[in-house]
Each structure stands twice: as C-alpha cells, then as structure tokens.
Amino acid sequence: MSGLLYLDHAATSPIRPEALEAMAPSLTRDFGNPSSHHTVGEAAAYALDDARARVARVLGFRAGDVVFTAGGTEADNLAVKGIVLAALARGRSHVVTTPIEHEAILESVAYLGRFHDVTATLVPTDAHGRVDPAAIAAALRPETALVAVGHANNEIGTVQDVPGIVAAAQGVPVHVDAVQSAGWLDVSGLGADSLAIAGHKLGAPKGIGALAVRGRVPLEPLLHGGGQERGRRSGTENVAGAVALATALELADGERVAVAERVGAQTARLIAAVLAAVPRAALTGDPIHRLPGTAGFTFDGVSGEAVLLELERRGVVSSSGSACAAGSDEPSHVLLACGVPPGLAQTSVRLTLGRQGLPGDGPERLAALVAASVAAVTS
Ligand SMILES: Cc1ncc(COP(=O)(O)O)c(C=O)c1O
C-alpha cells in the first residue's frame, strides 16, 4: 500500500470528476440567478429544475418534493423542526426517535423541547444498534407528530428496517436520515415521508444536500426571505452544487449493486482478519444489517485515539467514529446507547471504505497494519 490510504469516507468523500465537470458551466457560463427573468437566469433555472428532477427520481419522490439545502445537517433540521412546528398547530407535540441518531436529529429534537414544549421518546436499540419496529409502534401517542430515524448509522454502520418502521408508524410522518446510505443502498422504496441526503458523502461537494418531503406533509420553513424552493427554503440556490449532487447521486445509484457487492465482500474480509489478528477486538454494529463499507471495532484495553495515530504513521487515515465528536474525550453516544461501557467505547476505531474499495490483498494487509498499531500501543 503506497501513499496515504484514506479510510474515513463516512466523514466525507472526494468529489467525483464527473460531478466536478458537470457543475462547471453553472459557475461560469450559466452563472445567473435562477429567480431572474432573463435568459441568463432562465439557463440557471433550467439547470436547477433538471437537477431537482434527477435527484427526485433516484430518491423515489416527485421533483416538487425536493428542497435543496446546504447539506445533511440542514436537511435534518428542516425535516424535524419543519414538520413538528407545522404539526404543533394541530396539537401534535411529540416526537419518536432513537438514542443513536446523528446530532442533527437529536439536537433539533432538543431544541423543540427547549423552546416549544415538544416531548420526545427515545426508543432504545439492541446491542447492535437495531430498532424494533414494534417498539416504535408502542412509543406512538395520539399527539405524535413525527418519527425520525437514520437509515444507516454513521458510527457503526447499522442499517434499520425502515419499511418496518414506516408500517409501525401507522400514518405518522416518518423522516429518514439517508445521509450515510444514499448511493450505497436503495433508498427509493423505503416508504419515507421525508428523506435527507448530503452531497459530500456521495461524490458531490460540501455545501449541498437535499430534503425530499412528500407534498402531503405540512412543513414550516426555517429560512425566510425571497420564497425560493416553493417557500420552503429561502435564499438563492446553489445551482452548481445541485447539478453536482444530481450527477453524483445518479452515478452512485447506477453502480450501487455492484459496488455494494464488491466493497461489502472486502469489508467482510477486513472484519474477519482484524478479529482474528487482534486479541479482544470486537465488531461494533450489526453483523448482518450493515453498510457495505463500514468496519468499526473496539479494542479492549487500548486507547482508540492512540491506535488512530499509529495507523496514520503507517499511512492509514481513519477515525474513532463521528467526525463531529472526533477530538472530544467523550465516549460515543451511539456506542453507549448500544450498551458498550464508557471505557470500552473510548477504544473504538472506525474504518470506512469508499466506492473504490481496497486494492487486491488490501483487507488482509490493512488488518495486519491495524494489528501492528494496536500492538504498538498495548502496554
Ligand atoms: C447520518 C448523518 N446525518 C447527518 C449528517 C450531517 O451531514 P452534513 O455533514 O452534510 O451536515 C451526517 C454527517 O456526518 C451523518 O452521518
């Protein structure tokens, strides 16, 4: 393995060359404001509409359902706050979610509690981070406004039974955070009422994302101004980002099945080799229902941060879990919610592969580097 091996694709991925190429005209020739009523503006509006229709097709929504945002955090905030604020007028002030969600969901729910007296039920997961749809059903109340779940967890890679959760929600709107799963898994058939994605996780640049929300679901906007995005998100649109998002999402979706098979097989080899080579290593997340490229471990008795430094010295760049939490001394809220003791949670290391996967004997060579790094910090 020569050069640096970047294995932190759950944090962010590089832009695909096709997406970079596709967005260039919107930054140069077709630079207009899509709200302007002249030919330069119309060219931008055409590019934006085309991108919206393409994103909608991959996500399984109507073009008019897609709201472009600045990323995954904004899409989750708009869904959680926007749907619940709209439902408050109908006396609905309760949210059902889980303790392993991304902060974009958990902190939005906390905000609603602080300022709008919204209450929340956090439905526990099993030790692998899976939620039982029956437990979602049991948490519903007459005043429940929203069920919010992640399709795939960013720290441990566990994939939820979203169709089961949607069925269990009995008509209560279900928001699905598909930031980690879009491009890797089919998200079009989940039955979600709203779906959040982020460009930079799937080969588009940072600064663009989308929330798809079905027309029947009332949504209170969070950004007020010129009424762009059908009044749901004011502000001049990031046309170039939207074009790049549509391009990257379509390409990733087209390759999805083959990539999941190839990268999934490599990740399985990596997991097996690490568990065989490192004493007291344990896999985090669900052994079966998991993202194809995510391999998370705890290494009992060593510091995860120290292992990461040793890995980087050996040319492998990875992380302990969420990029938001990286560098903090707090153990991961996801691992704690899965019942991992705080001390053990601080030993975690997450390797996340990109769509290219690893070179030929990469999984076994990488596992040997992991083993050597753990051995180097074992006192
Ligand atoms: C599951 C999940 N949701 C939301 C986000 C936030 O997305 P962004 O970084 O685009 O704001 C992330 C980013 O790590 C994520 O993994």
Same domain, 165 and 248: yes
Please state, for a pLDDT cut of 90, what percent of the chain lies above it.
95
When divided into structural domains, the chain yields a total of: 2
**Per-residue pLDDT tens over the stretch 170-221:** 999 999 999 999 999 999 999 999 999 999 999 999 999 999 999 999 999 9
Q: Report which of 204, 212, 136 is spatially closest to residue 169, judged by C-alpha positions.
A: 136
**Per-residue pLDDT tens over the stretch 134-147:** 999 999 999 999 99
**Per-residue pLDDT tens over the stretch 77-126:** 999 999 999 999 999 999 999 999 999 999 999 999 999 999 999 999 99
Best of 98, 107, 149, 180 for a ligand 1 pocket test (most atoms within 8 Å of beta carbon): 180
pLDDT value at 325 more than 80: no
**Quick one: average pLDDT of 11-39?**
97
Q: Which helix (H) or strand (E) holds 79?
A: helix 72-88
Domain boundary among 252, 270, 304: 252
The chain-wide mean pLDDT, for the chain, equals: 96
Domain boundary among 199, 227, 252: 252
pLDDT band at 327 (very low <50, low <70, confident <90, very high): low
Q: Which of 324, 343, 356, 359 is catalytic?
A: 324
Based on the residue annotation, tell me whether 338 is a catalytic residue of this protein.
no
Same domain, 235 and 270: no
Same domain, 236 and 274: no
Which amino acid is it at 88?
A: L
Pocket of ligand 1 (CB under 6 A): 71-73, 76, 102, 104, 150, 154, 177, 179-180, 198, 200, 209, 323
pLDDT value at 328 more than 80: no
Best of 12, 154, 352 for a ligand 1 pocket test (most atoms within 8 Å of beta carbon): 154
Same domain, 279 and 190: no
Domain boundary among 208, 232, 252: 252
Output the pLDDT for position 359. Answer: 81
Output the pLDDT for position 1. Answer: 45
Q: What is the CB-side half-sphere exposure of residue 73 using CA atoms within 13 A?
A: 9
What CATH code is carried by the domain that includes residue 341?
3.90.1150.10
Same domain, 66 and 40: yes
Q: Which residue has the tokens 């007459």?
A: 142
Angstrom distance (rounded) from CA 301 to CA 304: 9
The secondary structure of 95-148 as a DSSP string is EEE-TTS-HHHHHHHHHHHHHH--EEEEPPP-TTSPPPHHHHHHH--TTEEEEE
Same domain, 23 and 139: yes
Separation of 34 CA from ligand 1 center, angstroms?
27
**Domain span holding position 173:** 17-252
What CATH code is carried by the domain that includes residue 102?
3.40.640.10
Same domain, 238 and 289: no
pLDDT value at 323 more than 80: no
Cβ atoms of 93 and 117 closer than 8 Å: yes
Question: Is this structure's pTM higher than 0.95?
Answer: yes
Same domain, 206 and 90: yes
Same domain, 286 and 201: no
Same domain, 235 and 264: no
Same domain, 195 and 51: yes
Q: Report which of 283, 34, 270 is spatially closest to residue 158, judged by C-alpha positions.
A: 283
pLDDT band at 251 (very low <50, low <70, confident <90, very high): very high
Q: Max alpha carbon distance in the chain (Å)? A: 69
pLDDT band at 322 (very low <50, low <70, confident <90, very high): low
